[in-house]
Amino acid sequence: MRYATFISALLHVGILAAGFIVAPFLAVPEVAYRAVVPVNLISEAEFGEMVSVKADQKSEEVAEDPAPLRDDIEVAELPDPVPVPQPIEETPQPEPEPTPEPEQPKPEPEQKPEPPKQETQDKPKQEDDFFSGLDDALVDLEEEDDRKAPSEVLDAEGLRDQEQIGLGDTLTAMEEDLIRARMAESCYNQPTGVPDAEKLVVRVNFKLDREGEIIGQPRVLNNAQISLSGNTWWKTTRDRAVQAVTACAPYDFLPQERYYVWSEITLNFTPQGVM
């Protein structure tokens, strides 16, 4: 009995719950009230008349004079426009010319002393031109020494004696050897193939300063005798002897303490060398 009562109660509760849930959906929906507008049916002819009447009314309204404008309304005058100032073109100022800097005087270059020119040995073709005026220049200088025997040629013994006078009186044997070696090495270009070479003696005198440089020009002591002899080989030997004396300068290989001895020298040349 108890179970039947309990089940019955559950069923009743379920039915009530279902009723609460389903009841809202079973209600009749309310219909909203709308006003009824009367509608009159007209024909097309009536509709055309109605439209034309409305158009005439609008045209009459437009044709009516508009309301007059008010005279009391003052129109404010606009002020004159202020002229815009134009930009002033700046004239470019000329650039100042740069003042030239005063030129400083350039220092004069130091003049280097020219080295003493050593005359090289001339070719046979140049010898006649180089010494062409030597004959006339030296004739007057040695008239007393050379006019004693203008047509005589000294013999071999006399020549040897003169050679000893040239180097033997004042210079020592060592100084003589120094001069001969210097002449033979690079200065004296002695002619070759000369007949009677030992008789063709040329006596050259020259003076030196303390540095061994030649003072003035060398002098040929027997120049007149050579010129009047007409011997071409003798003249060639004379020219080459003067050239050798000049080419060997400076004579700085001689001892300075004996300058009083070699300040003036006389050398004897032959085609065979310095005697």
* DSSP helix/strand/coil, 242: helix
- Burial string for 137-162 (b: 16+ CB within 10 Å, else e) reads ebbebbeeebeeeeeeebeeeebeeb
The β-bridge partners of 265 are 206
Q: Roughly how many angstroms between the first and final C-alpha of the chain, as a whole number?
A: 189
Q: Give the pLDDT of residue 18.
A: 77
Q: Give the pLDDT of residue 147.
A: 45
* Mean per-residue pLDDT of the chain: 73
The one-character DSSP state at 184 is I
CATH for 152-274?
3.30.1150
CA dihedral (268, 270, 273, 275) in degrees, to 10, reads -40
User: Counting beta carbons within 10 angstroms of the beta carbon of residue 122, is it exposed (0 to 12), middle (13 to 18) or buried (19 or more)?
Assistant: middle
- Burial string for 7-28 (b: 16+ CB within 10 Å, else e) reads eeeeeeeeeeeeeeeeeeeeee
Both tokens of residue 163?
Answer: 């050679």
User: Counting beta carbons within 10 angstroms of the beta carbon of residue 71, is it exposed (0 to 12), middle (13 to 18) or buried (19 or more)?
Assistant: exposed
Band of pLDDT at residue 69, cut at 50, 70 and 90: low
Q: What is the tens place of the pLDDT at every residue in 119-134?
A: 444 444 445 554 555 5
User: Looking at the predicted structure, is the pLDDT value of residue 6 above 90?
Assistant: no
Q: Give the pLDDT of residue 153.
A: 39
Q: Give the pLDDT of residue 219.
A: 96
Both tokens of residue 189?
Answer: 């270009």
User: Omega before 250 cis (within 30°)?
Assistant: yes
Q: What's the CA angle centered on 152, arms 148 and 157, to 5 degrees? A: 100
User: Looking at the predicted structure, is the pLDDT value of residue 83 above 60?
Assistant: yes
